[in-house]
Amino acid sequence: MQSTKKYDIVVAGGGIAGISAAVRAGSMGASVLLIEHYPFAGGMSSAGMVSPFMKSVTGGKNLVLGIYKDLEASMRRMGGMIDNGFYSWAFRSAANELLTENGVDIQFNADVVRLNKEGQRITSLDLMTPDGMKRIFADQFIDTTGDAQLVALGDFPWEKGDEKTGKLQALTLFFRMAGIDVKKTAAYSKEHPEDFLEWMDFKYDFSRIISIAGYKGLIEKAKAEKRFPEDVDYVFFTTLPESGEGAFNTTNILGIDPSTSASLTEAEKVGHKQVAQVVDFLNRDVPGFEYAYLVDTAVQVGVRETRRAVAQYMMTGDDILNGAKFPDVVARGCYGVDIHGQKGEESRMDDLEEGAWYDIPRRSLRVKDAENLQVAGRCIGATREGHAALRIQPTASATGEACGAMAALAVSSKTAIDKVPYEKIEKILTHNIA
């Protein structure tokens, strides 16, 4: 087993939460290592091809700035982001740029496979890498693996799925098509509004990203002819203005627990089969898609929900919908409870009123019973409903950034993470909480 230098902070998982944690900690002078399974950063934002960024502005108030805005600015500079939509390649490049500028060491192609601890204090992580096993020592650890891998490996407490039924949200394999006659398909939607989802207002501005969701009548017919996936009820895509390109958040993979290898393997098979059927349907049946073609599918099936850490405070659905405020706020959000229903479960989208937001307390990032472990992003300490709101990319970035700031403060003041005075944290995170 090789040992590397000791780091101040190790961040496990290089999705948007981990990138934001590592960049913020690096910018504060801490020595930071970011560990990532893939040979690139981004997690769901790149391997999952997830775009666009969901809502983080309410009543004109911008709730998430900081690293999130730095990522956005970098992607816009390189021509990889329009409105709130972006390309995966741009996300990967922007992440590399920011991590490098802020002195973060990166270990791609590395899987955390073991966690070593003394009592409730983590001492090191063991990684499997192409050049062998490595042991990495640090003072502070941040779990941004999406799956709460460190929490699970360390036998710290976690939860998974709906508290009563155990159900986990549906999975989606993103794909991208080009050659779409967007104006033609938009005109079709205006002529058949009953076939489209209720939230659509059909007021298209083709100089901006537009979203279309529906084609329900055409789908019904294709389903009757057994050439459309049974579990998919509508086609949803967002376009890039004037480009004829669209990103499709359409496949709907049910009955899968994405925290197991066997289920994820099955999900890949089902996802790719659904993509082929949906593309064929669009080409054959939908005006505007006659000459459209599949450009790419995401590297992996998109996973919305697996394990969540049990934290010192668990954010609830009521906290979200009532706009809870906390004295130890470290991040904020305004996105509502969004559950993509599993088999036998209704989907839910409960929004907050425009202008309303909720606080996220530092306690929901502190894993219960663990001395030096925080969580951010998709594995944050929340109930299933709370998680269904907090999981989106801007909020994941804000919670990651908060963890990075708190870990760096703990290291610089040589104190336990819970002993860092809130006033110090507040000062560093003003842009996201004032």
Contact set with ligand FAD (CB under 6 A): 12-18, 35-38, 43-45, 48, 50, 52-54, 111-112, 144-147, 149, 172, 249, 302-304, 377-378, 391-393, 396
Closer residue to ligand FAD, CB minimum distance, 372 or 395: 395
Contact call for residues 286 and 213 (beta carbons, < 8 A): no
Least Cβ distance, residue 12 to ligand FAD (angstroms): 6
Closer residue to ligand FAD, CB minimum distance, 17 or 428: 17
Tokens, residue 70: 């730095």
DSSP secondary structure letter of residue 376: -
Residue 318: CB partners within 8 Å, gap ≥ 6? 324, 385
Closer residue to ligand FAD, CB minimum distance, 16 or 71: 16
Least Cβ distance, residue 428 to ligand FAD (angstroms): 20
Least Cβ distance, residue 423 to ligand FAD (angstroms): 28
- Bridge-based pairing of strands 132-143 and 373-375 is parallel
Contact call for residues 289 and 185 (beta carbons, < 8 A): yes
Rounded to 5 degrees, φ, ψ at 247 are -105, 125
Tokens, residue 126: 């063991």
Least Cβ distance, residue 14 to ligand FAD (angstroms): 5
Closer residue to ligand FAD, CB minimum distance, 151 or 279: 151
Closer residue to ligand FAD, CB minimum distance, 48 or 161: 48
Least Cβ distance, residue 37 to ligand FAD (angstroms): 4
CA 168 vs CA 36, 275, 346: distances in Å:
24, 22, 12
Three-state SS at 428 = helix
Residue 293: CB partners within 8 Å, gap ≥ 6? 177, 178, 179, 279
Closer residue to ligand FAD, CB minimum distance, 113 or 416: 113
The contacts found for 337-340 with CB under 8 angstroms, 24 or more apart, are 337/385, 337/388, 337/389, 338/388, 338/389, 338/392, 339/169, 339/384, 339/385, 339/388, 340/169, 340/170, 340/172, 340/252, 340/304
CA separation for the pair 158, 375 (Å, rounded): 11
Closer residue to ligand FAD, CB minimum distance, 340 or 362: 340
Least Cβ distance, residue 238 to ligand FAD (angstroms): 8
Q: Which residue has the tokens 């290089």?
A: 14
Least Cβ distance, residue 22 to ligand FAD (angstroms): 11
Closer residue to ligand FAD, CB minimum distance, 188 or 367: 367
Least Cβ distance, residue 224 to ligand FAD (angstroms): 27
CA separation for the pair 27, 405 (Å, rounded): 9
